[in-house]
A and B are shown apart, each in its own frame.
Chain A
Amino acid sequence: QSALTQPASVSGSHGQSITISCTGTSSDVGGYNYVSWYQQHPGKAPKLMIYEVRYRPSGVSDRFSGSKSGNTASLTISGLQAEDEADYYCSSYTSSNSLHVFGTGTKVTVI
């Protein structure tokens, strides 16, 4: 099972909006509304930011939003803040025998 494809890096100025893409196939991203997104600061565990494509867990800022079109999911961060600088990973349920697949990761830099 290949990892989902994400851009290696995305940058934006403080206060701007950025979007991170996550491309899979019809066997994962495109076939199910089971995409989730995780934020990971250096040396820390991943933190759930979005589940089932567009839902935010309690406590996650509404500056984070998710969407999906076809085989590509997206995470948008609006009003970019310094604390948003981190690695972001998407994940999807997959019909392959490994059941869950993660993305290659995107490093977000606030400039």
Chain B
Amino acid sequence: EVQLVESGGGLVKPGGSLRLSCAASGFTFENAWLSWVRQAPGKGPEWVGRTRGKTDGGTTQYAAPVRDRFTISRDDSKATVYLQMNSLQAEDTAVYYCTTDIATWFDYWGQGALVTVSS
């Protein structure tokens, strides 16, 4: 059974940083593509970025609004993907989901981690 468990959410002040983790199980992690998708309160989901699997070079891609502030990394030995978020702004307040990524759709989703940016 595929499981994705996010952690690390919380309250952070504007301009601050936070790192989310997503622990995965139930599939071959090192070749898997994984994405982060966020959902602001009362809004639709928004794709944040992805990390490709080992056989695809482990490269990353980001959505324009976060490209210069967020970094996705992975530790295949721990089957964990990370989202480092810097220079956080109020508009980054959202539930952040880790998902398995099939390039053009997202099939399994974690339960989400709430990030609140507020002074």
Instruction: Check: A64 CB closer than 8 A to any chain B CB.
Output: no
Give 9 A-B pairs besides A45-B97, A96-B64, A97-B64 with Cβ atoms closer than 8 angstroms. A1-B64, A36-B104, A45-B110, A47-B109, A57-B107, A99-B61, A100-B47, A101-B47, A104-B44
Instruction: Check: A69 CB closer than 8 A to any chain B CB.
Output: no
Given A1-B64, A45-B112, A47-B109, is A93 in contact with B104 using a C-beta cutoff of 8 Å?
Answer: yes
Interface size on B, residues (CB 8 A): 20
> Inside 8 A of A47's CB, which chain B residues have their CB?
109
Picked from A36, A52, A96, A102, the residue with its CB within 8 Å of the CB of B44 is: A102
List A residues at the B interface (Cβ < 8 Å): 1, 3, 32, 34, 36, 38, 45-48, 51-52, 57, 89, 91, 93, 96-105
**Chain A: CB-nearest residue to B35:** A100
Picked from B47, B65, B110, the residue with its CB within 8 Å of the CB of A99 is: B47
Min CB distance A99 to B, Å, is 6
List B residues at the A interface (Cβ < 8 Å): 43-47, 61, 63-65, 97, 102, 104-112
- B47 contacts A102, C-beta separation under 8 Å: yes
Given A34-B104, A48-B105, A48-B106, is A89 in contact with B44 using a C-beta cutoff of 8 Å?
Answer: yes
Min CB distance B97 to A, Å, is 6
**Chain B: CB-nearest residue to A51:** B105
- A52 contacts B105, C-beta separation under 8 Å: yes
Picked from B44, B47, B112, the residue with its CB within 8 Å of the CB of A98 is: B47
